C-alpha cells in the first residue's frame, strides 16, 4: 500500500465540462462579493499575532542558527535518536502523494468487486486483506479499462485525474521496490456513507501509513459543506497553563472522523466507539507488532483534512510512536485559531511534524475561510507551496508581534482574491500536484522537515518555546 507504481493503458481523460465552466462564469459576481467579505474578515483575524503559546515576545532570541537547546526534532545526519533515518522533504511528499492518489482507483476497484463480482474472475482477490503492493499493482493493471468504463456518465474527475497522474509518474520511470509494502486494512465497508481509509506498512522504510480518501461520493461533499465549527476538547489542555480548553473544528470533517455508529464496535463500558477510535485501535495493534516503525498520516483534499485531525489526536496518545508525521495534500482549513495554537504546542513538544502541500491557486486550500459565525479558520504546519513555473516556497505561521508584517503578507498571498482562477479543478487535481512536485524535485531533495522545524528562521519562537521547557 505504501508505495506503488503502475502502468495503466486507458483512454484519454476528459477535462471539466463546458456546462461546469458556464455555471462558474454565471456565478462570478456573487463569488467575488463573497470573497471581498471573507477577505476582510479573514485579514482582520489573521493579522492578530498569537503571543501566548508558552513564550512571550520579550523572551525571543535573534539568533538565526540552530543550537542544541532549540532542537525540536533530533536530526543527526538525518537520523532520529533511535536510529530511524528520515527521508528528504521531497521523498516524504512524493511517497505520501503516491498513497493519496492510489486511494481513488483502489476504492473504485473494490466497489466494483462488491457490486458486480461477475466482472471479475476472482472478486475475492480484489477484496482480500492483507494484500501486497505487488498484488495491488497487478489488479489495477489488469482492470484499468474496467475502472474507466464503469465510471460511466457520472465520471468522477478526481478518480480519472488520479489515474492519469499515476500513469504519468510511471512513464517518467519512477519505479520502486514493492515487495516490502503491504496493505493491511482498507476501510470501505460503507463507502457511500462514511469515510474511506487504509492502513499499510512498508518494511523497507519502517513506516506505518494511514491514508484517507478524498471526496468522491455524495456524502463526502455533504460533509465538505458543513463549514460551521464544532467545539471539542483540547487533548493538550492539561499540559500547560494558557492552552485553550476547547477549540473549534470544521463540523463536516469532525463528524466524519468521530461519528459513532451503533453497528460499530463498543468500548468496555458499552458505549459506542467512534470511527477515529476504531482506526486508532488498529494502528496501535500494528505499532505493537512492528516496534520502531514511524507513523505517517496522509490524504488528498477531504482526505488531507481528515489526516490532519487524526494525526493531531493520535499525537496526544502515549501508545503511538512519536513523532507522528502528517503530510496533507490540497487540504482545506480544518480548525480555528485555538486549534492552531494547540497544534503548535504539540509541534513544540516534538509530538507531531506536519507538511502541508498546497498548489498556488488551488482554491480548495483556501476555504472555508470563515465559519457561519464569522470565526476565522487557520492553517497548520510547514507549508510547501507549489507553483507551476516558479520555485516552490516553504513557510510557517510564526507567532509573536515581530511577525505581524509577515502575517499580513501571508494573509494576502493565501486570500481567495489573490488566487482567482477558472482552473480551480485542474489546480486541485492529483495530476497537477504530481507535475508541480516533480518540477520542485531538485529544490527539495536536499531539504529535511526536521531541519526546518529546528531552524528559528523558519518556525520563529516555536523553537525557543521548546528550549524554555515551559511547554
Omega cis (within 30) before 461: no
Provide mean pLDDT across the span 163-190.
75
Q: CA end-to-end span of the chain, whole Å? A: 37
**Sign of the C-alpha dihedral computed for residues 245, 250, 253 and 255 taken in this order:** positive
Q: Are 408 and 47 in contact (CB under 8 A)?
A: yes
Q: Which residues pair with 470 in a beta bridge?
A: none
| pLDDT at res. 408 | 54
3-class SS at 67?
coil
pLDDT category, 172, cuts 50, 70, 90?
low
| pLDDT at res. 82 | 82
Lowest mean pLDDT across 24-28, 88-92, 141-145: 24-28
3-class SS at 356?
strand
Name the more confident of 381 and 154: 381
3-class SS at 20?
helix
Name the average pLDDT for the chain.
80
Provide mean pLDDT across the span 292-309.
97
The answer to whether residue 5 scores a pLDDT higher than 80 is no
Provide mean pLDDT across the span 426-443.
93
Name the more confident of 155 and 365: 365
The answer to whether residue 54 scores a pLDDT higher than 80 is no
The rounded distance, in Å, linking the Cα atoms of 359 and 165 is 15
- Cell numbers for 21, please give them: 465552466
DSSP letters, 321-348, are: -SSEEEEEES----EEHHHHHHHHHHHH
Q: In what order do the strands lie in the sheet with 181-187?
A: 131-132, 181-187, 197-202, 207-212, 294-300, 324-329, 352-359, 382-386, 393-396
The answer to whether residue 52 scores a pLDDT higher than 60 is no
The rounded distance, in Å, linking the Cα atoms of 140 and 16 is 25
Provide mean pLDDT across the span 310-322.
96
302-315 and 251-258 are packed helices; what angle lies between their axes, rounded to 10 degrees? 60
| pLDDT at res. 375 | 86
The rounded distance, in Å, linking the Cα atoms of 354 and 208 is 16
| pLDDT at res. 386 | 97
pLDDT category, 154, cuts 50, 70, 90?
very low
| pLDDT at res. 30 | 40
**pLDDT tens profile 341-352:** 999 999 999 999
3-class SS at 186?
strand
Nearest to 471 by CA among 49, 50, 55: 55
**pLDDT tens profile 280-300:** 999 999 999 999 999 999 999
The answer to whether residue 163 scores a pLDDT higher than 50 is yes
The rounded distance, in Å, linking the Cα atoms of 337 and 312 is 15
The answer to whether residue 259 scores a pLDDT higher than 70 is yes
The rounded distance, in Å, linking the Cα atoms of 6 and 144 is 10
Lowest mean pLDDT across 46-55, 175-184, 291-300: 46-55
Specify the pTM.
0.82
| pLDDT at res. 276 | 97
The answer to whether residue 72 scores a pLDDT higher than 70 is yes
Provide mean pLDDT across the span 433-458.
94
pLDDT category, 333, cuts 50, 70, 90?
very high
**pLDDT tens profile 6-45:** 333 333 333 333 333 333 334 444 444 444 444 444 443 3
Name the more confident of 46 and 72: 72
Q: Which residues pair with 182 in a beta bridge?
A: 132, 201
pLDDT category, 262, cuts 50, 70, 90?
confident
pLDDT category, 469, cuts 50, 70, 90?
very low
pLDDT category, 171, cuts 50, 70, 90?
low
- How far from 141 is each of 75, 98, 145, 180, CA to CA, in Å? 39, 16, 9, 19
Rg of the chain in Å (alpha carbons): 22
| pLDDT at res. 159 | 77
The rounded distance, in Å, linking the Cα atoms of 39 and 414 is 10
pLDDT category, 404, cuts 50, 70, 90?
low
Residues in Cβ contact with 332 at an 8 Å cutoff, skipping those fewer than 6 apart = 224, 250, 301, 302, 304, 305, 364, 365, 367, 368
Amino acid at each position: 500500500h505504501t508505495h506503488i507504481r503502475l502502468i495503466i493503458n486507458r483512454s484519454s481523460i476528459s477535462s471539466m465540462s463546458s456546462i461546469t465552466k458556464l455555471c462558474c462564469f454565471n456565478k462570478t459576481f456573487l463569488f467575488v462579493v463573497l470573497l471581498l467579505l471573507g477577505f476582510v474578515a479573514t485579514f482582520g483575524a489573521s493579522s492578530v499575532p498569537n503571543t501566548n503559546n508558552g513564550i512571550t515576545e520579550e523572551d525571543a532570541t535573534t539568533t538565526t542558527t540552530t543550537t542544541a537547546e532549540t532542537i525540536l526534532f533530533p536530526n543527526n545526519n538525518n537520523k532520529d535518536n533511535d536510529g530511524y533515518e528520515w527521508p528528504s522533504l521531497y521523498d516524504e511528499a512524493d511517497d505520501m502523494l503516491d498513497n493519496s492518489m492510489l486511494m481513488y482507483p483502489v476504492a473504485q476497484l473494490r466497489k466494483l468487486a462488491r457490486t458486480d463480482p461477475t466482472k471479475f474472475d476472482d472478486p475475492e482477490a480484489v477484496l482480500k486483506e492483507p494484500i501486497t503492493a505487488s498484488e495491488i499493482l497487478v489488479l489495477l493493471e489488469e482492470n484499468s479499462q474496467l475502472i474507466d468504463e464503469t465510471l460511466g456518465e457520472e465520471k468522477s474527475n478526481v478518480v480519472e485525474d488520479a489515474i492519469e497522474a499515476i500513469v504519468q509518474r510511471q512513464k517518467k520511470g519512477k519505479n520502486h521496490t514493492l515487495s516490502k509494502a503491504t496493505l493491511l486494512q482498507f476501510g470501505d465497508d460503507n463507502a457511500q456513507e462514511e469515510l474511506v481509509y487504509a492502513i499499510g506498512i512498508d518494511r523497507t522504510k519502517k513506516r506505518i501509513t494511514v491514508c484517507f480518501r478524498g471526496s468522491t461520493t455524495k456524502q463526502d461533499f455533504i460533509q465538505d459543506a458543513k463549514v460551521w465549527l464544532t467545539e471539542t476538547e483540547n487533548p493538550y489542555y492539561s499540559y500547560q497553563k494558557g492552552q485553550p480548553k476547547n477549540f473549534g473544528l470544521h463540523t463536516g470533517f469532525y463528524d466524519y472522523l468521530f461519528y459513532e455508529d451503533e453497528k460499530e464496535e463498543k468500548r468496555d463500558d458499552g458505549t459506542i466507539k467512534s470511527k477515529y477510535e476504531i482506526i486508532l485501535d488498529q494502528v496501535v495493534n500494528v505499532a505493537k507488532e512492528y516496534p520502531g516503525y514511524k507513523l505517517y498520516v496522509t490524504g488528498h483534499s477531504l482526505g488531507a483534512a481528515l489526516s490532519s485531525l487524526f494525526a493531531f489526536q493520535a499525537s496526544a496518545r502515549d501508545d503511538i510512536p512519536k513523532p507522528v508525521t502528517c503530510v496533507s495534500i490540497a487540504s482545506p482549513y480544518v480548525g480555528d485559531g485555538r486549534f492552531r495554537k494547540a497544534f503548535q504546542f504539540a509541534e513544540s513538544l516534538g509530538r507531531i511534524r506536519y507538511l502541508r502541500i498546497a498548489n498556488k491557486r488551488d482554491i480548495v486550500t483556501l476555504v472555508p475561510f470563515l465559519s457561519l459565525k464569522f470565526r476565522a479558520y487557520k492553517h497548520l504546519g510547514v507549508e510547501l507551496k507549489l507553483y507551476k513555473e516558479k520555485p516552490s516556497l516553504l513557510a510557517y505561521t510564526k507567532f509573536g508581534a515581530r511577525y505581524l508584517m509577515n502575517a499580513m503578507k501571508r494573509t494576502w498571498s493565501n486570500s481567495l482574491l489573490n488566487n482567482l482562477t477558472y482552473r480551480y479543478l485542474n489546480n486541485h487535481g492529483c495530476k497537477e500536484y504530481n507535475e508541480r512536485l516533480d518540477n520542485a524535485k531538485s529544490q527539495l531533495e536536499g531539504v529535511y522537515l526536521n531541519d526546518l522545524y529546528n531552524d528559528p528562521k523558519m518556525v520563529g519562537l516555536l523553537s525557543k518555546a521548546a528550549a524554555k521547557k515551559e511547554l
